[in-house]
Structure 1
Amino acid sequence: MRRYEDSYRQKGLRRQLVDNIRQKGITDENVLAAINNIPRHYFLDTAFEGIAYEDRAFPIGEDQTISQPYTVAYQTQLLEVKPFEKVLEIGTGSAYQSCVLGELKANVFTIERQKKLFDQVKQFPFKSRYPTIRFFYGDGYEGLPTFAPFDKILVTAAAPEIPEKLLKQLKIGGKMVIPVGGQDVQRMLRITRTGEDDYEKETFDNFSFVPMLTGKKS
């Protein structure tokens, strides 16, 4: 059975990572503190443990990745999470982003369509540190209408267009952060619901995510 240890060396590498993403433009100190508090190497195969604090993505199986820490921080900063807000996350993956949201004291509802990844996360002992995170196996395009509306929605995969069903699950005044575009490059968008049928769209930097797919995969 794997032992989870967080050494002084790993903590030091994490501080260097935080300094790195701060220099790249992340200014939200709460987000930076969350990145600093979470042992990223816990979320990776032990083969990657020595390089876990490099600012890059790594494979986690099922053709999925754990996002680059800068990307996690960027999306989280755009989302402007406040304590106790209801946040819907589309694409649990390794649960690293989920735990960053949990560290910010959000009430997180996270959906994973890959059954194997979902089962791995359910057995991951570190998640017990965040009892406000709830895990669901399902289709991200459908969201979680039973638990809507949400204060915030975070999509961690590339959508070809903004999913209409997710927009309808936002509270009025709520925000969605989502990468939208083709397979190679997507534009990061922030959508604010300003009325029953009214939305305001802001456009930010380009990123590259794995594609957002419909349905569930057993």
Structure 2
Amino acid sequence: MIGIVDYGRGNLRSVEKALEKVGFEATIMASPTELNLVNGLILPGVGAFADAMQALRQGGWIEPLIRFARSGRPFLGICLGMQILFEVGEEHGEHAGLGLLAGRVVKFPPGRKVPHMGWNSLQLEQPSYLLEGIPNESYFYFVHSYYAEPGEKRDVAATSDYGVVFPAVVSKDNVWGAQFHPEKSSPWGLKLLTNFGKWVNENAALSGH
């Protein structure tokens, strides 16, 4: 079972439907007490970094999410959900993120229309389970005004280019992030979610959950 975190900042139903379409059972989770019931987790997100962190804090999610990530179970952040995996976001001042990945989230430099909205191709930077079977330069759907600057280059699995080259997929151990919306990026977005679902099942089988 894959849990989808409901903290009032994400397009939950479309993620749930996309997972169901590729054959994986998902549940929308309204309380952090339910985290023990799932083998994998998706943290979606739309909006501002600080608002998202405040909503997670008010819902009592922050420590349980960090514990979940440290448990070794697969964890995927989408769009803003990817950005708040990092240590700091610079939207409307500096705000602490979950700190699961080293680095900062910064605004696109002047000269490009923001938000960056629409289809953009990925440049695969290193082999990645999440991107298995997805060709280099495949297109995905983005909507964002800020991007991550990871502290560790090895955490970047794929990049995209919008006047500045930015991380499109990041990973560290069992924690992953996609800056684009896989649920809106068929067919390759569905392939990415299929890879994630398979990874969740394999991890659960190995751990005996």
Shorter-chain TM-score category? under 0.3
Instruction: Return the structure number with greater strand share.
Output: 2
Flag the structure with larger Rg: 1
Structure number with greater CO (CA < 8 Å, separation at least 6) is: 2
| TM-score normalised by length of structure 2 | 0.28
TM-score between both structures, scaled by the size of structure 1: 0.27
